[in-house]
């Protein structure tokens, strides 16, 4: 397939994905806005006032970057897992499989769709946070690059989950039993400095700790982790998961007989 | 160059079931070709391999001279597929489904919209273009899949049971449409359970059973193999008993209806003469069963016997 035709196919998939989550905005864009507003009110304004400073910042300032990142990664993941699995379930994925579109274009299209939803929700949550705190961006390049890379990473995870899923139950297992616990224990609500040394070490194994803290560094200029390590880790995972996803599509695992 | 050449195509599924046992066939450009067979014969597996949804175990497939092992992407551009089951997003609207499909083949938005309008109009769906596809009737959904398969204007159109569950009037209009695009040069391969459909539309035919080709010939040649046809004759006046016609088996079904067996080489004129001699007036006559259906059943029985 010629490169210009591949571009058209890619933009068609991305447009379709954006239209999908915009069409069902009550399910995709509104819930994170409401949930995060409640987090801001309860954890930031009500409880946060009693907690006091954390890492040299008010609790509200501390928690906002973590909450933005939490919504970005969960929405990137859920966009791809639900869209790809739904296409598999309805067999509409066959529209793409019978076409000359190469698998890497299909993969890139779904990933960019997930990134668009992650960024859209991230933007909504960021705008809502402005009602509760002033955001001063310490490093725009770090902030933007980590949010985009994180969104790519979790979109890839969503796609792998969707390929292996056999039912709608299977697409909620990873978010419920893996993603949510890792996010809550990933430094969204607290600095790992508060933990005993052993648990600080255990927390270092949680990949979400790195993306949350790197994003927090971009906004506030403070982080519990080395941000160079975090960037390299995220990039390495993206390369590994992209290769794994492409292998799954090329292999036709659970998509072709 | 053929539109499609299949050589020694085999498919064994993961569980060990051998769906295709080395089938070979050729379809000429511009042909209207029927692939017939009972359920589980290997028709859908064959189509699945042609459109890349099923991976072959062995054998070669060429589409307009393109070997799918060498350049499946180029081969796919030549093929449009209408599957048996609805396989579009039930929540997308009709126009988006067709326009997006054009995009997956690399057609620009402008061309995609032009083609979508052309084929949705031809198939009577343009008025429904902004409707979610789930709101369409069964027949409309099937026509939507045809429009989607044609939007990149393939040279080979493959239809897997396109008129299953479609009412008679709509089936006839779909036949007209398929004849029209075939006359315009598109090669068509059709699988169907309605043998009347194959007899009416197709020039050549392959019968597949248990993963093997049982018969490959023209529809005309196949029908010539029929030894016997059964006709139903309606009479104006009621009959007390079945009339005699020398050399023919005549049965009475009811007081106004007769069944006559006519073997190859015999003439219907002799039957009419015999009836006329007995002052029996015929008001209408028809085939008892679809001729191809009889042939099909006899071939399948021969193979299984």
B274 and B212 in a common domain = no
Structural domain tally of chain B? 2
* The last residue of a domain, from among B223, B254, B286: B223
B230 and B217 in a common domain = no
Distance CA A20, CA A29 (A): 11
* DSSP SS3 for B214: strand
- The pair phi, psi for residue A254, each rounded to 5°, is 60, 15
On chain B, the residues whose CB falls within 8 A of the CB of A87 are 89
CATH, residue B256: 3.30.70
How confident is residue B97, by pLDDT bands cut at 50, 70 and 90? very high
Q: What is the pLDDT of residue B291?
A: 62
Q: What is the pLDDT of residue B293?
A: 66
Q: Higher-confidence residue: B197 or A218?
A: A218
Spans of chain A below 50 pLDDT: none
Q: Give residue-wise pLDDT tens across range B52-89.
A: 899 999 999 999 999 999 999 899 999 999 998 899 99
CATH, residue B186: 3.40.50.300
In this structure, are residues B41 and B210 in contact, taking their beta carbons and an 8 Å threshold? yes
DSSP state, residue B200: H
CA distances from B217 to A183, B25, B35, B156 (A): 65, 10, 11, 20
Domain span at B237:
225-304
* The last residue of a domain, from among B157, B189, B223: B223
| Residue A206 forms contact with B (CB below 8 Å) | no
B238 and B292 in a common domain = yes
B106 has pLDDT over 80: yes
Distance CA B184, CA B195 (A): 24
How confident is residue B290, by pLDDT bands cut at 50, 70 and 90? low
B140 C-beta neighbours (distance < 10 Å), count:
19
* DSSP SS3 for B207: strand
Distance CA A188, CA B58 (A): 54
B175 and B235 in a common domain = no
B294 and B198 in a common domain = no
B253 and B214 in a common domain = no
In angstroms, the separation between the Cα of residue A177 and the nearest Cα of chain B is: 29
Distance CA B140, CA B144 (A): 6
* DSSP SS3 for A19: helix
Q: What is the pLDDT of residue A22?
A: 94
- Helix residue ranges, H only, chain B: 43-50, 68-77, 94-104, 109-122, 138-150, 168-183, 195-201, 219-224, 268-277, 291-304
Q: What is the pLDDT of residue B197?
A: 80
Size of interface A-B (CB pairs under 8 A): 84
Cβ-based interface (< 8 Å): residues of B facing A = 13, 48, 51-55, 72-74, 76-77, 79, 81, 83, 85-92, 96-97, 100-101, 103-108, 148
Complex confidence, ipTM: 0.86
> Which of A98-112, B153-167, B178-192 is predicted with the least confidence, judged by mean pLDDT?
B153-167
Mutation site, B48, B52, B104, interface A, largest A CB count within 10 A? B104
How confident is residue B222, by pLDDT bands cut at 50, 70 and 90? confident
Q: What is the pLDDT of residue A99?
A: 95
| Residue A92 forms contact with B (CB below 8 Å) | yes
Closest chain B residue to A101, measured at CA: B104
Closest alpha carbon to A40 in A9, A76, A66: A66
* DSSP SS3 for B62: strand
Helix axes B94-104, A3-23, angle to 10 degrees: 150
Q: What is the pLDDT of residue B151?
A: 95
Q: Which of B54, B89, B97 sits opposite A257 (nearest CB)?
A: B54
* The last residue of a domain, from among B223, B248, B271: B223
B130 and B74 in a common domain = yes
| Residue A19 forms contact with B (CB below 8 Å) | yes
B165 and B89 in a common domain = yes
């Amino acid at each position: 397939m010629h490169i210009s035709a591949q571009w058209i196919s890619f933009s068609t998939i991305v447009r379709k994905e954006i239209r999908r989550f915009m069409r069902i905005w009550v399910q995709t864009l509104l819930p994170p806005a409401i949930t995060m507003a409640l987090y801001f009110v309860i954890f930031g304004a009500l409880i946060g006032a009693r907690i006091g400073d954390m890492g040299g910042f008010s609790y509200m300032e501390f928690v906002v970057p973590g909450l933005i990142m939490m919504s970005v990664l969960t929405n990137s993941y859920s966009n791809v897992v639900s869209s790809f699995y739904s296409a598999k379930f309805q067999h509409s994925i066959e529209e793409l499989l019978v076409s000359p579109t190469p698998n890497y274009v299909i993969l890139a299209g779904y990933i960019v769709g997930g990134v668009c939803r992650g960024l859209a929700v991230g933007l909504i949550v960021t705008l809502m946070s402005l009602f509760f705190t002033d955001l001063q961006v310490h490093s725009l390049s770090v902030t933007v690059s980590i949010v985009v890379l994180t969104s790519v990473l979790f979109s890839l995870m969503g796609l792998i989950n969707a390929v292996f899923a056999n039912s709608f139950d299977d697409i909620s297992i990873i978010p419920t039993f893996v993603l949510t616990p890792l996010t809550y224990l990933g430094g969204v609500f607290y600095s790992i400095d508060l933990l005993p040394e052993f648990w600080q070490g255990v927390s270092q194994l949680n990949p979400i700790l790195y993306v949350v803290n790197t994003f927090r560094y971009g906004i506030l200029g403070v982080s519990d982790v080395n941000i160079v390590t975090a960037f390299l880790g995220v990039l390495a995972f993206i390369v590994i998961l992209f290769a794994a996803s492409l292998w799954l599509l090329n292999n036709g695992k659970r998509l072709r007989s | 160059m053929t539109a499609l050449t299949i050589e020694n195509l085999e498919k064994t599924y993961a569980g060990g079931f051998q769906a295709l046992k080395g089938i070979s066939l050729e379809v000429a450009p511009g042909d209207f070709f029927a692939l017939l067979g009972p359920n589980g014969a290997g028709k859908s597996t064959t189509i699945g391999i042609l459109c890349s949804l099923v991976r072959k175990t062995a054998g070669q497939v060429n589409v307009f001279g393109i070997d799918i092992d060498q350049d499946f992407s180029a081969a796919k551009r030549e093929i449009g597929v209408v599957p048996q089951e609805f396989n579009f997003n039930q929540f997308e609207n009709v126009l988006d489904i067709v326009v997006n499909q054009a995009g997956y083949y690399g057609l620009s938005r402008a061309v995609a919209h032009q083609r979508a309008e052309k084929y949705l109009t031809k198939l009577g769906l343009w008025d429904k273009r902004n409707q979610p596809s789930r709101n369409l009737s069964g027949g409309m959904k099937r026509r939507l899949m045809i429009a989607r398969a044609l939007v990149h204007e393939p040279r080979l159109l493959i239809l897997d049971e396109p008129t299953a569950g479609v009412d008679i009037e709509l089936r006839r209009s779909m036949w007209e449409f398929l004849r029209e695009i075939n006359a315009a040069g598109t090669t068509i391969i059709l699988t169907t359970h309605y043998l009347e459909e194959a007899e009416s539309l197709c020039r050549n035919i392959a019968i597949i059973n248990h993963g093997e080709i049982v018969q490959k010939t023209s529809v005309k040649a196949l029908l010539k193999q029929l030894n016997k046809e059964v006709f139903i004759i309606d009479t104006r006046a009621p009959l007390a008993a079945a009339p005699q016609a020398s050399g023919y088996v005549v049965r009475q079904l009811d007081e106004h209806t007769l069944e006559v067996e006519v073997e190859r080489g015999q003439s219907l004129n002799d039957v009419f003469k015999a009836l006329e001699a007995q002052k029996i007036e015929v008001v209408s006559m028809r085939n008892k069963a679809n001729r191809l259906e009889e042939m099909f059943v006899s071939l399948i029985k021969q193979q299984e016997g």
